[in-house]
Structure 1
Amino acid sequence: NDVYVTYFPGPKPARSAFATAGLAFGGKVEVECWASVN
């Protein structure tokens, strides 16, 4: 977190984490998408 705030000093973007030892249902790829409406 200390390093993270040095790259994003203003409002922080959302972030997530996922397991690298295996994905749900035997998945091979994980895709995460975000959208914003202004």
Structure 2
Amino acid sequence: KRAAGLNEAVILLENEVSSLALGAGMAHFTDAAQPWL
């Protein structure tokens, strides 16, 4: 039972990290594009 909870926590953490990475990537892209806008 504990292993299942741990697995769930890992999945949540991965989702958090990927959304943070996506947000950072988009922010970086927007900054990079700024001179052209």
Q: Classify the TM-score, shorter chain.
A: under 0.3
Greater relative CO, 1 or 2 (CA 8 Å, sep 6+)? 1
| Greater per-residue helix proportion | 2
- TM-score normalised to structure 2 length: 0.22
Q: TM-score, normalised by structure 1?
A: 0.22
Quick check: which has more Rg, 1 or 2?
A: 2
